[in-house]
Copies of this chain bind each other. A is one copy, B any other.
């Protein structure tokens, strides 16, 4: 019966993804750090902003288009970088990029994507804009330079530089599932989970090879399997990075620079001073420090402080086109979405992501229609009726 159902919302896609992915993969995708409070808060907080309905306004010409990082978009939304997305569907990042191109929204490729820069760029339909590229600071600055060069060559012009990962967070589900363990017991646990999802094994694990980090292939010496890649990446986290490294980065990258992973007004000001074109207000989807604020909570203050100087994007817990509308009303220029597109990808491949994006665009349009706003740029606090005290205005 449930197989017959038609997924309508992000949560529906999530339910279907859960049925298709081996448990440790689903948990890797779905989970957050610690007790997953920030993860839950992210989702819940958007709902604290109540919309203000207006009637009898001429809304026959509502337009959801906008520009993000200088690029025309059908709606103010980009797909967030998600590591290992290519484990969720066969050559997953390539499928997602095609869906994003079709829907006219930017796609961001993670440093640790399965498909590499070249594979993803090659997947883009003719004339489609190139993906954005996400990078972490690596201890090996030479590798950083090489990756920037590789991205530029592939055509990328927007760099999403993630700053909230001096160390990886405590993802407790990965510990529980044995994903973070070595040894026979953990292997047995993983194997039993794989056996329960033969469809995935056949479709993704076997026919979707190779499962390594595509963009890092030239950096990881002798890297053949995923474990070698992971070991390399783990050794590359660099907790000594400071704003001076951003200055250095600025000299290395000619394109647009978005700093991703800020939650504090002071840090946002520093980003503006460092010459970034934009920031992504983000807590890494609740995957880093559990216990920090929901992004919706801190967005208004940050947007007020630096919204005039740089492009303020936000991610975390956006689960519908209506949430997207709320983010704009609270001051964002656009949103990134992480888990939702990967759920849709895991459950429905490229077509799934397209359906999701189409539904959200329709929801955004509806929210504009019923609040009486016809252009994205006009969405603001006037379209909110009440903002609970949790969101600091």
A residues whose Cβ falls under 8 Å from a Cβ of B: 1, 4-9, 12, 34-35, 37, 47, 49-60, 62, 163-164, 166-167, 169-170, 172-173, 175-178, 180-181, 185-186, 188-189, 192, 238-243, 245-246, 261-264, 266-267, 270, 283, 288-293, 297-298, 319-320, 322, 326, 359, 362-363, 365-367, 369-371, 385-386, 392
Contact = CB atoms under 8 A, between A and B. Distances in A.
Given A54-B264, A170-B362, A283-B53, A385 B242 contact: no
Given A8-B172, A176-B12, A243 B56 contact: yes
A192 B1 contact: yes
A289 B164 contact: no
Contacts of A170: 8, 359, 362-363, 366
A370 B55 contact: no
B289 A370 contact: yes
Closest 9 CB pairs of A and B: A8-B175, A60-B240, A8-B172, A289-B370, A51-B291, A55-B163, A53-B263, A59-B239, A60-B239
A227 B7 CA distance: 23
Contacts of A319: 35
A242 B53 contact: no
Contact of A185 (B4, B8, B34, B35): B4
B176 A7 contact: yes
A96 B47 CA distance: 36
Contacts of A362: 170
Contacts of A164: 53, 55, 370
A136 to B, nearest CB: 12
Given A291-B322, A292-B52, A172 B385 contact: no
B242 A58 contact: yes
A267 B55 contact: yes
A34 B8 CA distance: 9
Contacts of A363: 34, 170
A366 B167 contact: yes
Nearest to A386: B293
B176 A293 contact: no
A52 B264 contact: yes
Contact of A289 (B8, B178, B288, B371): B371
A393 to B, nearest CB: 13
Nearest to A46: B291
Given A239-B369, A289-B322, 9 more contacts: A8-B170, A12-B176, A35-B47, A47-B291, A51-B291, A53-B263, A53-B264, A170-B363, A289-B371
A356 B241 CA distance: 30
Contacts of A370: 164, 166-167, 288-289, 292
Given A170-B366, A298-B385, A51 B289 contact: yes
A142 B69 CA distance: 48
A240 B243 CA distance: 51
Contacts of A238: 60
A285 to B, nearest CB: 13
B270 A56 contact: yes
5 contacts: A6-B175, A53-B289, A55-B164, A56-B245, A60-B240
Contacts of A185: 4, 6
Contacts of A9: 34-35, 172
Contacts of A35: 9, 47, 319-320
A326 B289 CA distance: 12
A382 to B, nearest CB: 11
A56 to B, nearest CB: 5
Nearest to A322: B291
A181 B6 contact: yes
Contacts of A189: 4-5
